[in-house]
Amino acid sequence: MHKKIIALAVAGLLSGGAFAQSNVSMYGIVDLYGAHRTADNGRAQNGVDSGGLATSRIGFKGEEALGNGLSAVFTLEYGLDVDKNTGVGATAHMARQQFVGLKSGSLGTLVAGRLQGLSYYTVAAFAGGVGGGPLSPLASLQTSANNGTATVGALQASITRFNNGIAYTSPSFAGFDFGAAYSFGNRASGAEATTADTRDSVYELGANYKNGPIAAGYVFSRAVDKLLAGGSDDLKLNAHFLGASYDFGLAKLKASFQTQKNETGGSESGKFDIWQLGVDVPVTAAGTIRAAYVAYNDKFDTRKADDAKSWTVGYTHALSKRTTAYAAYTVVRNDNNAGLKLFGSGDTVTGMAPVTGGDSSVIGCGVSHAF
């Protein structure tokens, strides 16, 4: 009897040691803000929305040590609309990311599943203003850029996530790291897409550098869509994004430049540039003033005068390590026949898209809590 008790105790100790090598945690963000939007289509809107500073979400992630510096990793993350009667995974990106993979301190990380692309992290690192969503001038011009197809928005905004993907990120070497990602698409070879926003394949290559106050990042993205039977109107999108920042202590400067060219059936169908300047100025130990100016330049032959600009000024205040209060005022102004709009403000969403060549604006304030 005593031997059985001792055996069970030893087994419990051994299993406890094994479980100690695993680490699974739950995390998330709950973010709500109030906003007043106006557009020169004669409409205005007041409301409470989810995700002003960061998208509300809930997730689970884990890591298990396999030995010799190798670990198994996974992440399951889902969007939340906390201002509505909806549950987990109710937002446009129901599953923000779902993947499993292997991680090595000396060799890097390899994962597969539904992934957040290299563009997601690089663009977010250098975006100016408050957050990367409805109050962001860069997000506004990226997501409503005219690329000359039914696929609305800049490629490096529309492929922040992709399905059936595999990605590799390297460890850091003297401040440098690099990555590569590929999406296999959703259809069998020879099958055709029925809509222009169905990607047949996507790949990205990127590199980053960080050393003290200096940071820089670059991503090249390419996507292919087969629009018609026979592939005669294949759509090919090529985009580059370059960002940099320098922290002077008294202020942090940010800058980015991105360019995109589209081809439909072998002929150019869209071309534009977006550049940005931003600054973050700490005014107290917890408070920072954030401002940014973004310009969209349409380079396509028939739309060269259809440019747009957006700017913002905002403030964030850390109430604690996990809770941040924020406020911002953002404007989008169009030239000639341009129709770019605030992030998330289309006719099918809020009826706040401006008239052609018109303006729109939003003023909002909210609270974001991370757990």
pLDDT in tens, 2-42: 444 433 333 343 344 444 457 999 999 999 999 999 988 78
Q: Which two tokens stand for residue 307?
A: 């440019």
Q: What pLDDT is attached to residue 14? A: 38
- What is the distance between the alpha carbons of residues 280 and 276, in angstroms, rounded to a whole number? 14
DSSP E strands in the chain: the ranges are: 22-39, 43-50, 57-67, 70-79, 95-104, 108-116, 161-169, 176-183, 201-211, 214-225, 235-247, 252-264, 267-282, 287-298, 308-318, 323-334, 359-370
Q: Is the pLDDT of residue 364 over 90?
A: yes
Q: Is the pLDDT of residue 304 over 90?
A: no
Q: Dihedral of CA 116/112/155/296: which sign? A: positive
- State the average pLDDT over residues 339-362: 74
Burial of 267 from C-beta contacts in 10 A (0-12 / 13-18 / 19+) = exposed
- State the average pLDDT over residues 301-319: 92
Report CA-CA distances (Å) from 166 to 4, 202, 249, 341, 361: 48, 11, 38, 33, 39
Least confident residue range of 12-26, 99-113, 223-237: 12-26
- What is the distance between the alpha carbons of residues 163 and 186, in angstroms, rounded to a whole number? 8
Q: What pLDDT is attached to residue 232? A: 55
Q: What pLDDT is attached to residue 16? A: 44
- 124 contacts 132 by C-beta, under 8 angstroms: yes
* Overall residue count recorded for the chain in this entry: 371
Q: Give residue-wise pLDDT tens across range 152-180.
A: 567 777 778 888 999 999 999 999 999 99
Residue 321, C-beta contacts closer than 8 angstroms, at least 6 positions apart: none
**Predicted structure pTM score:** 0.87
Q: Tell how far CA 100 is from the center of its chain.
A: 20
